Structure 1
Amino acid sequence: MANTTTQRPTSKALPSTLAIGLARTKLEVREFFREREALIFTFFFPIIFLGIFSAVFGNTDFNGVNAATYFTPGMIASGIFLSSFQSLSISIALERDEGLLKRLRGTPMPPQAYFIGKIGQVLITSIAQIALLLAISGLLLGVDLPTEPGKWANFVWIFILGTASGSVLGIAFSVVPKSGKAASAVITPIVLLLQFMSGVYFVYSSLPAWMRNVAAIFPLKWLAQGMRSVFLPDGFELTEPAKSWQLGTGAIVLSIWLVVGLFLAQRVFRWTRRDAG
């Protein structure tokens, strides 16, 4: 009598959270570049403003550098903050209002994969934005980019801390608007106010002392100051109110905001609208 064996069906292993998160990142990047408003008010906004400032202040001497050189660090910092905090807080609020988050939560997708996708989108779009801004600055606006490895090393950690803290704060702040339609109206004025107070559009040392003190509480000021340390000549350190770039203090403040943002995002994030209970 012939022996017969029964083969059990083999179950296919599910993709890992990281793999799903990377797939979400590709989707998020495609969706970002399809949105005209996101492209104009997030991706191209700092580049457009750098061109405007260079044209308006083209004949102004900023302690030995031209206007484009002086405003480039602030526009880079602003771009990171727009791509992380503003972009995520508005887009997540819209997705929650439209019921997308509720539907995603009902799928087998791990929640962590959604956040990996969002943060991955911020990293990719921020890198692309900065690369384009630096190319325009160097090729068209006469900005001399730094050549010292140490300055680029500082750029890397400032960029990482800035995007990380801005991203988690954006995720947490996305619960503040009462609806997706109100998100832009609630978040954009806050970002604009921080830009004016943090030395993005003005010479930081010329701002009133009380305004500088308030700005020092928030991450954008330290992000902008850190970028000035990278892209401005070393002598500009003495033009800062503290006569120093304060990179150590900046790293501490950005790290604190990163921890605060992580804590708040875990505690307050919602997958459904408030009226959903």
Structure 2
Amino acid sequence: MEPVWNGMLTCDYERTRPQATPFEWDLYTRSLTRWPLILMNDPESYGRLRRSGIVDIPELVHHTITGRWHARLRNLDYVADLISRTVADRRAVALVLDACDAARRENDLAGLTAALATATTAFLRVNATHVVNWLLPEDRWERLLIDLLGSRESALTCLSALQLPTEPGHILATATAETDVLARRASAAARREAWTAAALVAAAGNDPTLTEVRALAAVLGWAADSEERRKELRERLLATARAWCEVTNANPDRITIEDLLGEDHHGPHQDDQPSGRV
């Protein structure tokens, strides 16, 4: 997120993801403007699209929407529902990408095209969670933990431990020996549990504070897991889109989300005629 200028915040994926394709920029900008609807059923758009890759958010809109979300993140029922819904969203995307893989194995171009469109639409819901990288109320949580734990150092160590994912990332899991992965997982779990317990003990006797500590611990764990799984699904989707481009002779560096969703009346950006082979 760029600094506020003239009452406007700008999220510039062209700058932060300069090697991305227009399709990838579309995935980010569409999910960014829709995250309030996806994550808290709030129909207000988070800003407006300037062009593919850039979203402008009025400062008042930013503060209003994030304020509503931060208030909900104190509610354990909302947090539990958020986690449940987003986990279901990730599973849905994985299943449709499996269908894409099956269509490719069967040389079923029509099936691949349909499944890829479904996967793209479904992934927008998953990609909305990338806002956890900068929109969580971490400053408020840091102040709360400083009060509870007695120092900023302890608060930051606690926050760091609570942000460890419960499962290793795909790259780590495939490139590291199983025993090492298990050891890292056990170490991360132990750190999370120890610091969660310390914060809960410090909050004991104050029910609102105790509830907020439980909520922030759940949200931070969810955010870390969401980022790991989101990135894995993003790479699968992008790889599938590239495979679709190969068999349709579309240019992977030029296609947009409209091409994959059938919204472009002029057809995909092609270099030649489709090969028909998946």
Q: Same fold (TM over 0.5)?
A: no
Higher strand share: 2
TM-score range relative to shorter protein = under 0.3
Higher relative contact order (CA 8 A, sep 6+): 1
TM-score scaled by length of structure 1: 0.28
When normalised by structure 2's length, the TM-score is 0.28
